[in-house]
Amino acid sequence: MGTLAELGELAFVSAIRRLTDKSPAHRGVRLGVGDDAALVKTGAATLLTTDTMTEGVHFRSHWLTPRALGLRLFRVAVSDIAAMGGTPRYLILSLEAPGDYPVDDAHELVSGLVADAADVGAALVGGNVSHGDRLSLTLTVVGDAGRHSAKRSGARPGQAVFVTGTLGDASAGVQQLEHGKSRGKLVDAYRKPPLRVDVAKALVKTGSVAAMIDVSDGLAQDLGHVCRASGVSARIDTGLLPVSRALQAAGEDPLDHAVTGGDNYELLFTLRSKKAEEAAARVCRRFECPLTKIGVIEKNHGHALVVDQSGRELHGGYSHF
């Protein structure tokens, strides 16, 4: 099918339109790709978030197939909707690509995104295609907020701190990719972040979640965000952190990846009570989602927001500059 420049913007947008109109998630879309703006049904409270992935900055082109890149873009962006306990509904994609970018790759990228999003009921409804000297993708996700949203600011002293899944795999996977390794569980963890939308909704629905965030920039940094927003500190027992066998076997410091490594996209939250802990455990069993208690919220210590069991400050994590 040649390159984007050969096909042209209009024909490419038409191809995307055919792809999106077929999506089973298209209910609620009154007007999708192809008019000035998309027209969609919304509820009274809407969640909005966006994420950007640029080749050479956030990833290298040989790290991911175009289809895997589309899937990963969706999962990274939707993680912020999950962290509020919301339901993703509509997606807006801005795609910048060089003129010689293969149409087949662009089609695969959008297909991967559309298919993965459809699994949780979200539809691509519009966007923008423009020329750039490298591939750069910005995905905005519009979600239904439902009755309650989990904010970062609800953590209170005495609440236990929980995390889903395992920590540090994706961060170690990126290091392996940078060293030329292209297969294995850690690399897969980077390529295919967990999709925690359904379990997050169910957790928030129980009323047991006091504060929640997704672990995107590293446990220490993201728990620091919760502490700062809530005016509290947190004490983590690093011996409790959920570390996969693959990470333990990788020959690097697993704790370093688990504490400061980004790209996890797991849920990090505090629970209101012992009873709330039981409710959360039931929900996670139902969704077969690993759940680990890793620490406790304490009164504000002053500067050190997050400390380990011996009182040592935990910090570091991904910085965008």
Query: Which residues from 20-39 bind its own copies, rule CB under 8 A?
Result: 30-31, 34-39
CA distance 104 to 298: 53
Our finding on whether 19 is near its own copies (CB under 8 A) is: no
At closest approach, how far in Å is the CB of 210 from its own copies?
Answer: 14
Report the alpha-carbon angle 219-240-317, nearest 5.
15
Our finding on whether 290 is near its own copies (CB under 8 A) is: no
Judged by CB under 8 A, the residue of 4, 69, 135, 172 near its own copies is 4
Burial (CB count <10 Å: 0-12, 13-18, 19+), residue 162: buried
Question: Could you tell me the end-to-end alpha-carbon distance of the chain, in angstroms, rounded to an integer?
Answer: 38
CA distances from 272 to 85, 161, 210, 266, 269 (A): 16, 10, 6, 19, 10
At closest approach, how far in Å is the CB of 267 from its own copies?
Answer: 10
CA distance 74 to 85: 16
Our finding on whether 270 is near its own copies (CB under 8 A) is: no
Burial (CB count <10 Å: 0-12, 13-18, 19+), residue 129: middle
DSSP annotation of 33? B
Our finding on whether 229 is near its own copies (CB under 8 A) is: yes
Compute how many residues bind its own copies; rule: CB under 8 A.
67
- Nearer Cβ to its own copies (97/246): 97
Judged by CB under 8 A, the residue of 2, 99, 158, 231 near its own copies is 99
Our finding on whether 265 is near its own copies (CB under 8 A) is: no
- Nearer Cβ to its own copies (70/254): 70
- Nearer Cβ to its own copies (43/231): 43
Which amino acid makes up residue 186? L
Judged by CB under 8 A, the residue of 61, 65, 94, 175 near its own copies is 94
- Nearer Cβ to its own copies (81/307): 81
- How many C-beta neighbours within 10 Å does residue 136 have? 18
Q: Interacting stretch for its own copies, rule CB under 8 A, among 42-50, 114-122, 167-175, 297-305?
A: 42-50
Our finding on whether 46 is near its own copies (CB under 8 A) is: yes
- Nearer Cβ to its own copies (90/190): 90
Helix, strand or coil, per DSSP, at residue 92: strand
Q: Interacting stretch for its own copies, rule CB under 8 A, among 127-135, 177-185, 231-239, 244-252?
A: 127-135
Q: Which residues contact 73 (CB under 8 A, 6 or more apart)?
A: 51, 53, 113, 137, 139
At closest approach, how far in Å is the CB of 153 from its own copies?
Answer: 8
DSSP annotation of 212? E
Report the alpha-carbon angle 303-305-310, nearest 5.
100
Judged by CB under 8 A, the residue of 20, 23, 25, 86 near its own copies is 86
Q: Which residues bind its own copies (CB under 8 A)?
A: 4-5, 8-9, 30-31, 34-52, 54, 56-58, 80-81, 83-84, 86, 90, 92-94, 96, 99, 125-133, 136, 138, 140-143, 145, 149, 151-153, 212-214, 229, 319-321
